[in-house]
Amino acid sequence: MKKYLITDPQYYTNDIEIFKKTLIKTLTKHKIDIACFRDKESENFKELAKIFIEICKKFNVKEILINSDYLLAKKLGATGVHLNSKQFDKIKEAKEKNLFTIISCHTFLEIEEAIKLKADAITFSPIFNTPNKGEPKGIEKLEEATNLYKDIKIIALGGIVSEEQISKIENTKAYGFASIRYFV
């Protein structure tokens, strides 16, 4: 099962040296397959994104993504982009730039749209209780999604903080799991 790291300035800060140390510590501790630089507030976003990409490359992370901004992802040499659920109209453009494209989905209709638009993968969330993210879908809904939609890689997201939760996800056909807090 793939491990997908998502950063957040709450845990990684926007202080360059602390950011580097925190990211290196995380990548040393965990074998990460996919990593996404996600920061919606820092003014030094581009600088941090460049550092993120450099460090992830040194740790042989297969897919290195920038959140939402596919043009910046391409410009900085990331391998992909993680689009939010309001960016379905950007999938085609991201794919045309040869970017590995993940989009956030919260309903089966959104999963169907992602398949139709040829996204490479989706995150389906929230699986478990997550602050400010609404009612959790639960393992049963994740399992239903992975059984119904075999034509796309489904990555569980939301409230994943323990080995017990990861074990439950492993018992589904999910391609992987994504988390911010689990990896910190």
Report CA Rg, the chain: 15
Domains in the chain, number? 1
- What digits encode the pLDDT tens for the residues 55-106? 999 999 999 999 999 999 999 999 999 999 999 999 999 999 999 999 999 9
Look at residue 97 in the predicted model and tell me its pLDDT.
98
CATH number of the CATH domain containing 107: 3.20.20.70
Of the pLDDT bands very low, low, confident and very high (cuts 50, 70, 90), residue 119 is: very high
Residue 20 confidence (pLDDT) above 90: yes
pTM over 0.85: yes
For residues 26-34, average pLDDT: 98
Mean pLDDT of all residues in 39-66: 96
Cis before 9 (ω within 30): no
Q: To the nearest 10°, report the CA torsion of 109, 112, 117, 121.
A: 110
Task: Name residues whose C-beta falls within 8 Å of residue 48's C-beta, 6 or more positions apart in sequence.
Answer: 14, 16, 19, 37, 39, 42
Domain span at residue 61 reads: 2-183
